[in-house]
Structure 1
Amino acid sequence: LTCSSDANPPVDKYTWYKKTVSSPKASGQSYSITNITSEDSGEYYCEAQNQYGRLNSSTLSVDVQYGPKNTSVSVSPSGKIVEGSSVTLTCSSDANPPVDKYTWYKKTVSSPKASGQSYSITNIRSEDSGEYYCEAQNQYGRLNSSTLSVDVQYVDECTAHSQICGENSTCLNTNGSYSCHCLPGFKSNRIGLCVDINECVEEKRYCGNEGLCHNLIGSYWCQCSPGSTNYGHKGTKCVELSCDPQEAQPGKTLPGLGSLMSLVRENCLWLRNSSTSGPRQPPLGGDVLLKVRYHFLTLTPSLQ
């Protein structure tokens, strides 16, 4: 900066001032600022003095231009971010000339999320959680802000509303939502309620040719006709019951095998000839003994 003044005798003292700063900045007809920074911006003037007086110049504006600095992100409203609410992220940056382009990014996502000084997310979801930052740009450069963490808190609908899925169903909580699943023996109807599946509509498929299907809420049982059984598994098909004795070969009979097989056959005959008025067990656990018989003979064919 150079100060000029008409005086006679010539000015013998020049003093430099910056507005808003009370103390002089320098003395001499010229004032040089090396490696100028944005802090040097402002209004400057000089004072010229000789033995007859002093006079200030008008001010000269020094406008130092620079790229974005101190870029930061803020969120409004502050506090907890609850799913379904709306938030606005705002980018701030010191730049001269002012920032002419703001770009928003989410960490782990390569493409920009939005542009503009503010980025609003309405009806925010848990998927919107993450680290966000903005990029500020003007003709002299660009600068990213530090990241701001957005933590979207959401309600566990399954816990908060225990009957949200209705009866005969289970609720599965997911991020930002939930899903309902019908219990075994139930299916979803047109309005999303879980209703009983009547397995007996397809009786032969579930109980076989020898069984009579009885529907229950959420289940069913098969009533086997005389001479057939489902070996104690009331939800399986009925098959023909064979109580033919198995003869053991000489020298291969295990101790007690004859008694066991006799007991098994006795219970087998009880099952074949007993009433089938309802789901009940024969004496001595006959169904279990039948299983023993068939598994035993299957696993030890050499003893048959």
Structure 2
Amino acid sequence: MWSLKMGFWHPVSNLRDYVAQNPPGVTFFLCLLSLAISFICLSSYSYTHTLPNPDTEKDWNHLLSSLSEFQLCMKANANSSDLVSPVPSPLMEQEKDREISVNTTRTSSSSVTHLHLKVPLTVSASSASGSVTDLGLHTTLTASQLDLGGNETINVTLEFLSGNSTHTCLTISAPTHLLPMRLLPPECPATDKNTSSIHVEARNQLPTASQTCYSLHSKNDPTLTVMLTQEEQSVAVRHLLEVSVFLLGVCLILCLTASLTHSLTRRYHWNGLDLQNDPLIDT
């Protein structure tokens, strides 16, 4: 009896018949197989490369990119004497930042952090008369404008670094819980020179021809991106492989089911023919 059953099992022909007669089932099988292969390739890539942490929603690259979307423009109806105000020496500010901002207690969400950092941000003026070589740009934005969430006020001051065309000194004052504190850019070099700050407005619209505006251009710095730790990356790779093995197991079960379905159909078909060939009345 076993040999009779085995004689009806033709896996290649059964699979060929199943593919011809069940396009939806074949499509579902191919989707599962493609997904399993994709997960295997992704796990292999994750094992050999360092990946950014997807749970980190904000970092300094994100903040600088949001800031560079704005044009910093001088007020059209303001007097020139009202636009310039003295700024304390960055050397004094740096010492103050070490004591107040870096050691700020993070348990209080209302505490304010002051940072004076060297960031990959360049400032260009709309006209030659708008040089910021010896000046700084000061503006006030809300947290929502920088995609940090909330309506808290953030004070930003940009100071041009002489001899450096790729980085700018950024002085930022904001509630501690809004700023990405896990990876900080380097501190801006100290100097005893006092500079003046121009109060400007942050706009995301094209300025008028009569206004002097400054454009910001940020550059993505990989050292400011929060990456997955080795342990977190190993867990991610293991989960991807587990899902891949499960999907491949489902694909194998579908193949076995398809290869046996037509064999059973043929066997029942032949058994039915044998019953029809048997005489109804014994002679």
What band does the TM-score fall into relative to the shorter chain? under 0.3
Structure with higher strand content: 1
- Greater relative contact order (Cα < 8 A, sep 6+): 2
Structure with higher helix content: 2
TM-score by length of 1: 0.21
